[in-house]
Amino acid sequence: MAIDFDINEAPMVGDRSAGWRYVRAAGDVFQAADGQWFLSSPEAVEFAHRHPELFSSAKALDALGSPVPLVPIAIDPPEHKRFRKVLDPMLAPRMVNSMEDSLRQQVRELIATFADDGACDAIDDLARLYPTQVFLTLFGLPLADRDRFIHWAESIIEGTGAAEVAEGAGPAPEVQENAMALFSYLQACVDEKKVSPGDDMLSRVLQLEGEEAFTNEEVLGLCFLFVLAGLDTVTAMIGFTLLHLARDPDLRRRLRADPELVGPVIEEILRLEQPAPLTPRVTTEDVEVGGVTIPAGSRVMLVLGTVNRDPEKFAHPDDVDPGQADLGHKAFGGGIHRCLGSHLARRELRLVVEEWLAAIPDFDIAPGAEPKIVWPSGTLHLKELPLVFPTA
């Protein structure tokens, strides 16, 4: 029986701790008034992750109406394995290591543009810019194209997250226009890489042969997935990371004194503030979870946000505690669809923290500012983060 529950009413804006407690209180497995199902307990979410044949990612993402397959997240087993087999090594830590010097220099240069100003909006001045530069670097595309790429990406991400898309109305004409512009840009890049390949991920994908080879549509789908799932999420996490550091001078001092803590602190902020805390699935047949039967064809949300604050696993579920970092979290999802770019995202966050603290060791939220997330939203993120700091 459906219960009187609306995820949009969760008190997320100022405090995600309260928001996820609100969701968890509704139950382990329940159906909301709108017909959508929610799995909020660690056991229920883990069951769904272990059974992708019962909880389809491909069917859940059909509503986006993408003209190309979103490789590999919108591909179900057994075909999914073919894509991950070749893509995972391309984003393994050793490949990310080869990019680190360039990525570090890029974030250092971005911070240098405002480090002497005494103030910045960390979202506009850094978080929106850096992930797109990383994507362009990864795929061997010109950094000079950053700003128009951001324009296209933000339009598409905002448009495909709108309620009318979920209801089947489709994206607005402006969103479709920007999507076509982005597809045309990416197709031109693909055509150029086929003729003159470089030492980048896009070139390596295009050089695959035999059973591993991607079709043109699959290559574009991979690129498009990075745009839809890999840019705004990292933008959001940069904002959340700097927000937590701005609020906690003691944590900043600990990081400066012991750089080895940077990784564990990032893991904890990922656990608390994951940008994509609800992942959609559609059941392929009737399935029993936690003693409750969910009918075939039901839309199901896996609530990673509640799993990441499980009090039975984390002694301090709502706090940044580096001592909990090795317990693991679901910020990058789980199962076969675990985030393809998790190693790269972690590296981006580490480089941001290291270079920020080197250039701006002390900073605060601007007087009068109250950073809040956008809610409801497909991706949890801060719209702005005004910071102030001493200048040299």
pLDDT values of the chain reduced to their tens digit, one per residue, 392 residues: 799 999 999 999 999 999 999 999 999 999 999 999 999 999 999 999 999 999 999 999 887 767 888 999 999 999 999 999 999 999 999 999 999 999 999 999 999 999 999 999 999 999 999 999 999 999 999 999 999 999 999 998 887 654 433 444 566 888 889 989 999 999 999 999 999 999 999 999 999 999 999 999 999 999 999 988 889 999 999 999 999 999 999 999 999 999 999 999 999 999 999 999 999 999 999 999 999 999 999 999 999 999 999 999 999 999 999 999 999 999 999 999 999 999 999 999 999 999 999 999 999 999 999 999 989 988 999 999 999 999 97
Fold of 67-275+316-388: Cytochrome p450 (1.10.630)
The helix/strand/coil state of 280 is strand
- Residue 241 near residue 266, CB atoms below 8 Å: yes
- Residue 367 near residue 340, CB atoms below 8 Å: no
Residue 192 to residue 202: CA distance in whole angstroms: 11
Residue 190 to residue 200: CA distance in whole angstroms: 12
Measure CA of the first residue to CA of the last residue in the chain; give whole Å.
62
By C-alpha distance, which of 215, 324, 339 is closest to 276? 339
Tokens standing for residue 183? 């597809």
By C-alpha distance, which of 364, 342, 357 is closest to 244? 364
- Residue 263 near residue 256, CB atoms below 8 Å: no
